[in-house]
Chain A
């Protein structure tokens, strides 16, 4: 009972795309299947034509991607080898900027903080998502669609708005402290985002709040593709809810877990909005992340070269993590 059952017809389209991208499986393309009665050369011509049309459709998007993603990315890698204030002439710096990324405490802190946020953005939400999805899917209820919408809501809110609301919630006179005072825990009252011991966790919880819904919805969709007969068989064998989760749901959702981890890990490492809107990296620098650091380096410190080096290191690290996850999703 360790291998996941292969999906049968009930999977949702969006999920198939996501899982396909993650697992390397592609949906069948129109050029693959040989029409009945066609000769090999006809097929060859048709295939070439299809490829031509395909490229034609691809071209506009590819051009935009090249122009607005690939080239700026390469440009920022180029800048990372220069000392540049963003306006004047840059001077060649070699690997000096990279040395700074790994030696300046502020930059190293930002990187380690971002890695730490993976716990709040990825690990906790994926676990919560698994459990919530199992609970929700256990029995068909009315209003399931509404529930899914509500769960997904944090994902469609602008993160700056989320951050601003949480700043209010966490404030010295905010609702959280008011509730604490009500129930007689006034002693624990504090400015959650301004306190050195709580700020990091407080910001992390915002991340958990944002990504848990996405994870749950992904898991829910995944659960629906698991063959119900497996559950039935398990129940006949006397398995409890916990065993069902352990031996059927969790292994059956491996691909979904990988997709959810990938998306949320990228948002943890690239986080900017939430930190910017809540703490600006403070107090001190306990919540500083590379996103905010890069912004400050470029626009306030005018150290564009160092900022680009940090961005390059961050994107290389992110790519490595994604690649590793990808392998994990494909194996077995």
Chain B
């Protein structure tokens, strides 16, 4: 398959030699956790024996991980991490097979837990979490999505299977020039204000919302409206697959209704169903659209494209969709202690800097000093959502097939082929298939 080897081990050693003079890799920057070890069977002292670990990731989170690997060399010179990356989709398709193979990697990026945890391919990290104090460093609702119950499908409870290195947030990008032109000031903080802003834009001849739904990204605004109306906490059980939860809520209904209205009344770009996410990002950068609901991962591209006109705010109601860039340890790893030491390093302020540069929110933000620009907006929104306890995981991850189901149903709603009742029935049927009583 398309397999991109970013760095050979030889090159990595050379890079590690350079890392000694890298500006951000210091051994004493640890800002979180307690490395002194806990009363458990795992060791936080990884000794001086040379250890080589294999790490697998995707380009989306690769840059920051590579920098962390370089920086870690100056903390633990005896620890070599070999980095390997594959594009997102192929990565998800091949991860389980790689973990089950004889040449399993030690550290893997986890995008979903389902089959991976069910088949015992990654280690229970609870003891490391206790030893390193991850539960103090990372907000509980962020660790929760990596906890999997014994049935292998219910999240939010049970042992911990991954350690977050950074976080992503879905909110609203906006074009400041268009906001000035339309006269939107202050930014909307309630659903009604958001709707009013959209109408105002349309009346002024400005496209209210940029959207590319070729891959189903209309599910983001639908989910956010649902959370804003129902309250984020009430949506968590459904996302985590807790028995008895339902998608049929007033908020989700309103989200789907609004999507249909937007499509009907010209709030969305023509051909939204035919554009993919990157197409929508490109359109937004070209000044098409006042608002654009998207994740932190496109922050760098949007900041480059729109310059000073780029802005970001938390979805009205201070709610957000988010997950973490989280790494797990292979059950086959011969050096889990060394792997855990690196996972802990990725939570430090020094490593957090790399996450921030790539558009993710760091676990420890103490090294971030910027106050302007889209990334600073993102960090502000992240804190705001955190304070309001407004973060929920992606609806798209509720089951293995939910992403496809949401894609299909939102496309049909935009195309006028399906009503809200039909969409809710299909979405809930998918959920029942996995989590049903």
- Give residues in A with beta carbon < 8 Å to B: 85-88, 170-172, 189-196, 279-280, 282-285, 296, 299-302
Contacts and interface: CB of A to CB of B under 8 A. Distances in A.
Interface in B54-94: 92-93
Given A195-B415, A284-B411, A85 B118 contact: yes
By secondary structure, the B interface counts as helix
A279 B114 CA distance: 27
Interface in B284-316: none
B270 interface: yes
Contact of B115 (A193, A280, A284, A302): A302
A194, A300, A302, most chain B CB atoms within 10 A:
A194
A192 B271 CA distance: 8
A194 B275 contact: yes
B400 A284 contact: no
B400 A300 contact: yes
Given A195-B415, A284-B417, A301 B401 contact: yes
Given A88-B119, A300-B401, A191 B114 contact: no
Question: What are the 5 tightest A-B residue pairs by CB atom distance, in nearest-first order?
Answer: A194-B274, A191-B274, A191-B271, A194-B273, A172-B271
Interface string B246-281: 000000000000000000000001111111000100
A300 B112 CA distance: 11
Given A87-B121, A172-B275, A285-B408, A196 B270 contact: no
Interface in B100-119: 100, 114-115, 118-119
B191 interface: no
B403 interface: yes
Nearest to B430: A301
Contacts of B407: 280, 282
Contact of B271 (A87, A190, A296, A301): A190
Contacts of A195: 271, 273-274, 415
B412 A284 contact: yes
B404 A300 contact: yes
A277 B59 CA distance: 20
7 contacts: A172-B275, A191-B273, A195-B273, A283-B411, A283-B414, A300-B400, A300-B401
Contacts of A88: 115, 118-119
Given A172-B275, A189-B270, A300-B400, 9 more contacts: A85-B118, A86-B97, A87-B96, A171-B279, A191-B272, A193-B214, A193-B274, A283-B274, A283-B415
Nearest to B273: A194
Nearest to B272: A194
Contacts of A193: 214, 274
Contacts of B114: 302
A280 B272 CA distance: 15
